[in-house]
Structure 1
Amino acid sequence: MTKLLSVPQQVVIKPIPSLTGYTPNELFTALAKQPHSIFLDSSKELSIETFSILLWDPVLSVESHKQQTNMHLHKKFAAVFPDTNPVSLGSDTSPFMMVKDLHQQLLTGLEIVAQESPSLPFLIGFAGHFGYDLGAYIESFAPEKLGEYATADMGCHLYTHSLIYAHHTDTYYLCYLSNSTNEEMVINDLIEMLHKAPNDGFTLAKEWQANLTEQEYCTKLDNIHEYILAGDCYQTNFAQRFDNQYSGNEYTYYQKLRQANKAPFSSYVATPQGAILSLSPERFIQVKGNIVETKPIKGTMPRDSNPVIDQQNATTLLASHKDQAENLMIVDLLRNDLSKHCIAGTIQVPKLFALESYPAVHHMVSTVTGKLAQKEDVYDLLEGAFPGGSITGAPKIRAMEIIQELEPNGRNIYCGSIGYIGLRYDMDTNICIRTLLCENERIYCWAGGGIVLDSVAPNEYQETLDKISKIIPKKESIRT
């Protein structure tokens, strides 16, 4: 690979008081149609500091599709990195390692300059989507369904500026590489785009169509039970897909869905073919300093408008031996995944079988932590743990083979991740559940669950419908 040479530059952090009064959701309206724009949309939590990140106009993109990975330099690249040469990336390098190599070459030795010292994530760096089907780029099983979707399996982009909103202080910060832009230009352009942003509607064309009938779904679960009895796996995460046709502005639909879901790891990703709308409640991997955290979800019960019944559902979930066993399997899997790149003896489980409640469902959530051995290992950690064990099953590779055999369609972004790897090798990624893929006026969403030996097929089928009840409301009916 040709060596990229970057000139010493500074990363500037400036508070932007002129944006006070705008919500991040409103500001992103101006950016939603920009190529490769990304909205990492956090909710405000009183107990912790949370941030939303707005990204647009990257200088470089790394995209993977049909087991080919290519790098694209955008117009601004030469101006931002004037002492560079075009690179030819080796086809035998994994997509994750390609991005790691570019990170090391382009983002090393930058000085951070701030008017104050806010504890911000990301600043500048790489961000994007990592589809579930990237697993076939890493593992040995045959990628039979790759290429079913037009959207890339990975779209990871280098952003040399970001707008970060600190929810707990109601403050915007512009972070930028010193020669890539300036404060006045970015803010003026943003406000101008906001005033010109279209207020388009969004329309679904017909009923949602499931790719499995309830009977077909139950038959597939019988197949999984046979694999479990044969010793192939302990658990397999099986999903069904729903699709529809649409017209209009995908971000309009995202705004409607986020109001109903209020999920802490929501995000919107503009793609050349349409957009990815994620209303995810689940964190995959976060790295701050050298502290690693993952929060697998296993165990779900529906919410109820009656507070008494709602509390009964939560209590039933927490007392469920089946859900505890299912959750523990994935905790053990993730402990193993994290241990490969963490300091020996640092893996801990500070929370096991905790309750987290969202508008549609209650979840059983555990927390696994560790200490990363070296900061550059963040890419190796992400690749080694990808895709997340909570949405594959155990053992992971065999479960993924069974998923590929039994699910009629590929997953693309579903059960992949959206997130960032920042300048300082800090990282945060979600698990793309409660996620919709919009491309070429077709829209897809999925719902699944971990299947174990004592899973009851009709109950599991109903659970998939509960999980997407805020994504596909009952009035938007499903045809099987």
Structure 2
Amino acid sequence: MMHWQERLNLYGKEGIPCFFLIDYAKHSPCVYPLESLPSEIRFAFGTPLVSLHQSARPLPLEWKKEAIPFEVYHSKVRALQEEIAQGNCYLANLTQPTRFLTQASLGEIYEAASAPFKLLYEGKFVCFSPEPFLEIQGERARTFPMKGTILNAPGAKESLLGNPKELAEHVMVVDLLRNDMGSWAQEVRVDSFREFSLIRTLRGEIWQTSSIVSARAPRWRERLGDILDRMTPAGSITGTPKRRCCEILEHLEEYERGCFTGVAGVFDGESLRSFVLIRYIESSPTGELFYKSGGGITIDSDPFKEYEEMLEKVYVPIF
């Protein structure tokens, strides 16, 4: 059987348009030619390089959330900060599941949500991500590390920009993505640093900051699968150093991320567009819905503020 990397290398070399989904731990990546995409998979990109199954009119949506107790989350943050204090890592993205109570189905949530990237895997999960991952057009490759979230309020942007912990976190993620791109591309540079984007939700507005890292990528199509293998999991949802962070988080999080914080995207035969699977709701075997979210933890993190940020990210963006 051809591995997913080999299949993407082949499709890239032959210019075959395809969709791919790489789960966080790479246990079950999948690759489909666009012409034979399973009906249970639907996606839409806000500024389309390619777009299938465009969404219909948005539906009303109400929900409640039940998070893990703060005491449980606090113990995980403290354990993670002890790992940082011992020099085992410097930044780690701690995530947890929150029970998401709503009468809406995954499909209805997909229809109601507005986001640059949307993905529905019927019966399994829905994702409405604000975070592009890797884009390649011609020989120019770009990635878009996102770190820094705050509720919109007077002075919120200034508060986020002036927070030393947030700055350190963003710098570390940008450096990680620069290193990841440098392993397969040339002339890596930071084109934009800590730019703001505003997300509107039914519970208010959220500011997020992201940067743009670019590079020159000759002959990338025949290496498409190998490149995505090197770049995943995404640095913005793991930490530094990436491999050690993943090991630590697997022990501390005590649940399976699954496709959450994985990467999905489309190769249209000439160009690549992909995104990180955050803002993600998953259906459990019992039919309960869980919203998976988190944030970056450093030695200076305030556990209560990090807990609040994790819950702030439990939302559905509106039109």
| Secondary structure in 2 matching 1:436 | strand
CA 1:208/1:340 → structure 2, altered by over 3 Å: closer, same or farther?
same
Partner of 2:197: 356
Do 2:279 and 2:313's aligned partners in 1 also have CA atoms closer than 8 Å? yes
Deviations 1:261-290 (A, max 9, x none): x322x212334xx14322211111111111
Do 1:436 and 1:444's aligned partners in 2 also have CA atoms closer than 8 Å? yes
Once the two structures are TM-superposed, the CA of residue 157 in structure 1 deviates from its matched residue by 1.1
CA 1:448/1:127 → structure 2, altered by over 3 Å: closer, same or farther?
same
User: Which of the residues 92, 97, 118 maps onto 1:241?
Assistant: 97
| Secondary structure in 2 matching 1:133 | coil
1:213 aligned onto 2:73: no
User: Which of the residues 453, 457, 465 maps onto 2:299?
Assistant: 453
1:269 aligned onto 2:125: no
| Secondary structure in 1 matching 2:184 | coil
Do 1:341 and 1:380's aligned partners in 2 also have CA atoms closer than 8 Å? no
1:433 aligned onto 2:278: yes
User: Which of the residues 93, 100, 110 maps onto 2:9?
Assistant: 100
Report the AA paired with residue 207 of structure 2: H
Q: Distance in 1 between matches of 2:137 and 2:157?
A: 31
CA 1:293/1:174 → structure 2, altered by over 3 Å: closer, same or farther?
closer
Q: How does 1:291-440 map to 2 (within 5 A)?
A: 291-304=140-153, 309=154, 312-343=155-186, 346-359=187-200, 360-375=205-220, 376-424=222-270, 426-438=271-283
CA 1:302/1:159 → structure 2, altered by over 3 Å: closer, same or farther?
same
User: Which of the residues 12, 19, 24 maps onto 1:127?
Assistant: 19
CA 1:174/1:438 → structure 2, altered by over 3 Å: closer, same or farther?
closer
| Secondary structure in 2 matching 1:160 | helix
- The two structures have a TM-score, normalised by structure 2, of 0.84
Do 1:127 and 1:419's aligned partners in 2 also have CA atoms closer than 8 Å? yes
- The two structures have a TM-score, normalised by structure 1, of 0.58
Do 2:99 and 2:291's aligned partners in 1 also have CA atoms closer than 8 Å? yes
Q: RMSD between aligned alpha carbons?
A: 3.3
Report the AA paired with residue 118 of structure 2: S
CA 1:161/1:173 → structure 2, altered by over 3 Å: closer, same or farther?
farther
Do 2:7 and 2:225's aligned partners in 1 also have CA atoms closer than 8 Å? no
Do 1:200 and 1:248's aligned partners in 2 also have CA atoms closer than 8 Å? no
Report the AA paired with residue 243 of structure 1: R
| Secondary structure in 1 matching 2:277 | coil
Q: How does 1:149-298 map to 2 (within 5 A)?
A: 153-160=28-35, 208-210=65-67, 212-244=68-100, 249-256=105-112, 258=113, 262-264=114-116, 266-271=117-122, 274-298=123-147
CA 1:246/1:457 → structure 2, altered by over 3 Å: closer, same or farther?
closer
Q: Which has the larger radius of gyration?
A: 1
CA 1:173/1:128 → structure 2, altered by over 3 Å: closer, same or farther?
closer
Q: Distance in 2 between matches of 1:330 and 1:250?
A: 31
Do 1:267 and 1:418's aligned partners in 2 also have CA atoms closer than 8 Å? no
Q: Distance in 1 between matches of 2:30 and 2:104?
A: 23
Do 2:92 and 2:298's aligned partners in 1 also have CA atoms closer than 8 Å? yes
Report % sequence identity.
25
Once the two structures are TM-superposed, the CA of residue 255 in structure 1 deviates from its matched residue by 2.0
Q: Distance in 2 between matches of 1:366 and 1:155?
A: 28
CA 1:292/1:320 → structure 2, altered by over 3 Å: closer, same or farther?
same
Report the AA paired with residue 228 of structure 1: I
Greater RCO between the two (CA within 8 Å, min separation 6)?
2
Q: Distance in 2 between matches of 1:381 and 1:400?
A: 19
| Secondary structure in 1 matching 2:25 | helix
Partner of 2:40: none
Q: How does 1:26-65 map to 2 (within 5 A)?
A: none
Q: How many residues align?
A: 305
Which consecutive unaligned segments of at least 5 residues does structure 2 have?
Answer: 38-42
